[in-house]
Amino acid sequence: MKWVACELHTHTVHSDGQLSVGGLVNRAKSLGLEMIALTDHNTNSGLAELDNQRLSVSFPVIRGIEWTTYFGHVLVIGSKKYVDWRDVVPHNIDEKLTMVHDAGGLAGVAHPYALGDPVCCSCHWEFYLKDWGLADFIEIWSGSLPQLVMRNKKAIKKWTSLLDKEIYLTAISGRDWHGDEDDTKPFGVTYLMLDEMVDVTEAAKDALKNHRAYVTVGPTVSLSASSNGKNTGIGGTLLRGETTFRIAVGGEHRKEIWRNFDLVPQKIVLVGVGGRELSSADFVGYENEMIITVPEASGWVRMELRGTMRGEECALAVTNPITFE
Partner 1 sequence: MSREIILLEKEFVLTPKDCKTNVFFEFSVSDELSHMFIDIGYEPKFFYDFDKSMELIIGCVEKYDLDKKTDMYGPIENLLPLSNMVTFSLDMNVSYRGAAHRHSNCQHLVLAEKSASAGFMAGRLEQGLWRAAVNVCSVITESCFYRLKITGIKANTEAGAL
- Binding stretches for partner 1 (CB under 8 A): 12-16, 40-43, 45-46, 48, 68, 70-71, 82, 84, 86, 113-119, 121-122, 124, 143, 145, 148-151
Judged by CB, which is closer to partner 1: 143, or 235?
Answer: 143
Judged by CB, which is closer to partner 1: 22, or 299?
Answer: 22
Instruction: Classify 86 in phi/psi space as left (phi over 0), alpha (psi -120 to 50) or beta.
Output: alpha
Report how far Cα 76 is from the mean position of its chain's Cα atoms. 14
Q: How far is the CB of 148 from partner 1 (least distance, A)?
A: 6
Judged by CB, which is closer to partner 1: 88, or 194?
Answer: 88
Q: How far is the CB of 200 from partner 1 (least distance, A)?
A: 21
Rounded Cα distance, 105 and 142, in Å: 22
| Residue 69 CB contacts under 8 Å (≥ 6 apart), including other chains | 85, 86, 88, 89, 122
Q: How far is the CB of 119 from partner 1 (least distance, A)?
A: 5
Rounded Cα distance, 101 and 80, in Å: 10
Q: How far is the CB of 160 from partner 1 (least distance, A)?
A: 18
Write the burial class of residue 181 (CB in 10 Å: 0-12 exposed, 13-18 middle, 19+ buried).
Answer: middle
Judged by CB, which is closer to partner 1: 39, or 319?
Answer: 39
Judged by CB, which is closer to partner 1: 18, or 226?
Answer: 18
Q: How far is the CB of 91 from partner 1 (least distance, A)?
A: 14
Q: How far is the CB of 85 from partner 1 (least distance, A)?
A: 9
Rounded Cα distance, 8 and 192, in Å: 10
Rounded Cα distance, 155 and 163, in Å: 12
Do 154 and 113 contact (CB within 8 A), yes or no? Answer: yes
Judged by CB, which is closer to partner 1: 182, or 256?
Answer: 182
